[in-house]
Structure 1
Amino acid sequence: MSPRLPVFPLGTVLFPGLVLPLHIFEDRYRELVRHLVAQPEDTPREFGVVAIRRGWEAASAEVSLHDIGCTAELRQVTELDDGRFDIVTVGRRRFRLTGVDAESRPYLTGEVEWLPEPSGQEDLAELLAPRVLAVFRRYLRLMRTGGEAVDVELTEQLPEDPTVLSHLVAATAALTVEDRQELLAADDTAIRLRNELRLLSREAALLGQVRAVPVPLSELAVPVSAN
């Protein structure tokens, strides 16, 4: 029988090892938090975070979800006076969503298939990691010189482990949800790193072109249509 998880649709992509704070205000997700808190201490308190392909978080009947997600492990819970929650979670493990149940509980649940990082291309990942690290450092420098807020500690303490690096780059680079989803769904670390080389090179080139524009960026803004 396939494992079953509570499912939390979001407009973002979670990666293993990355922190995801959430403010819980909908009744159904308050119920989800209460369900997790009530689990025995030795039971993983985790739910599946899946990026929304189409629809809105608040309208489960209209939501279309990507099929690859990542579990979020509940690490900290603060209940507010009005019953809302502020929680801190950490990405734990990837999965493929094989079925969704919108009827059994107030929140979505889903049958999942776990997606561990397969072995076999470790040597290639070890070769790609330093290249991704170098391009990512250049990308962060361009972001910082362009006035973007960049965590200084991040630029100085980047991980060397290929898998950890691949997840950090995917989560912190200014990529689209579609780009991040592609990286989450990559079959292994080497493929993810190779895709990140392509995406980071693209983004760094775009940033370099913008920095070369000899007029203030505000002058290039297009007025918003009233329609």
Structure 2
Amino acid sequence: MVETLPLFPLGTVLLPGASLPLHIFEPRYRQLTIDLVTGTIPGKQFGVVAVREGWSPDDGREGLHDVGCTASLREVRRLPDGRFDIQTTGDRRFRLLEVDDGTAPYLVANVEWLPDDEGDTEHDLAPLAMAARAAHRRYCATAWRQQGGGDGELPTELGTEAAPDVTEAELAHILAGDCLLPLSDRQELLEQTCPMERLHLIRRSMTREAILLGELRAVWAPTAKFAVEHSPN
């Protein structure tokens, strides 16, 4: 089924279920925000798609990845000078079909939805989900130590029972949203339609990043901060 979405190219990947705060200052995206709030764009949703490395948001269709995620508008705060601070949440994945740069001040795209493959059962996914949760806890524990938390017990909110209420099929996206993974890893997770393979991917990515954090003594920062500071518009 083909649908039309306003498009917001960014230097990050939005995943289903993940939060994405944005500071809106460019005129075209101020207009997009106004159109969302006033209902000119129904549903209060727009498409977020990552810009390819080495390209800019103004380079057109060739500079965009093929798969993105809709962002649902949750909160809006208008600043005195006309800028906006908004809070969004990732919802549905889509594949770009056509991009129109002439209908509105912002890009508008024809998209098709990208559902998961069918066939994997909760029984099939349970062991992989357990392994992914364990990898997430190792990642959080390593990051906690690098922040000066020491070798003591990891605080509950940093991964003891990561995402207890999500399904096994949703888990990889939620865990990725809680970690500072490279854009290429996040894009691969977004494009992957096999839940089983997605759990393999997130476990490998978090295991690798935990090793790098430990060996390089890198400083970990919250994902929300990354999203705000590295989502130019």
The equivalent residue for 2:133 is: 133
- State how 1:25-104 maps to structure 2 within 5 Å: 25-39=25-39, 43-53=42-52, 54-57=54-57, 59-61=58-60, 64-104=63-103
String of CA shifts for 1:179-222, please: whole Å, max 9, x gaps. 110011111221111111222222223334346xxxxxxxxxxx
Is the 8 Å Cα contact of residues 56 and 63 (structure 1) preserved in structure 2?
no
Is the 8 Å Cα contact of residues 9 and 51 (structure 1) preserved in structure 2?
yes
SS for the counterpart of 2:2 is: coil
The equivalent residue for 2:226 is: none
Is the 8 Å Cα contact of residues 7 and 47 (structure 1) preserved in structure 2?
yes
Is the 8 Å Cα contact of residues 47 and 71 (structure 1) preserved in structure 2?
yes
Counterpart code for 1:25 = F
Q: For residues 7 and 45 of structure 1, what CA distance do their matches in structure 2 show?
A: 12
* Residue ranges of structure 2 left out of the alignment (5+ in a row): 218-233
The equivalent residue for 1:13 is: 13
Sequence identity of aligned pairs in percent?
Answer: 45
* Residue ranges of structure 1 left out of the alignment (5+ in a row): 212-227
Does residue 167 (structure 1) correspond to residue 173 (structure 2)? The answer is: yes
With CA pairs under 8 Å and 6+ residues apart, which has the higher RCO, 1 or 2?
A: 2
- State how 1:187-198 maps to structure 2 within 5 Å: 187-198=193-204
Counterpart code for 1:197 = R
SS for the counterpart of 1:29 is: helix
Is the 8 Å Cα contact of residues 129 and 199 (structure 2) preserved in structure 1?
yes
The equivalent residue for 1:225 is: none
Relative distance call for 1:178 and 1:129 in structure 2 (3 A) is: same
The higher radius of gyration belongs to 1
Q: For residues 39 and 79 of structure 1, what CA distance do their matches in structure 2 show?
A: 16
- State how 1:195-214 maps to structure 2 within 5 Å: 195-210=201-216
Q: For residues 191 and 185 of structure 1, what CA distance do their matches in structure 2 show?
A: 11
SS for the counterpart of 1:86 is: strand
Relative distance call for 1:8 and 1:206 in structure 2 (3 A) is: same
- Say how many residue pairs are matched: 209
SS for the counterpart of 2:96 is: strand
Q: For residues 169 and 69 of structure 2, what CA distance do their matches in structure 1 show?
A: 15
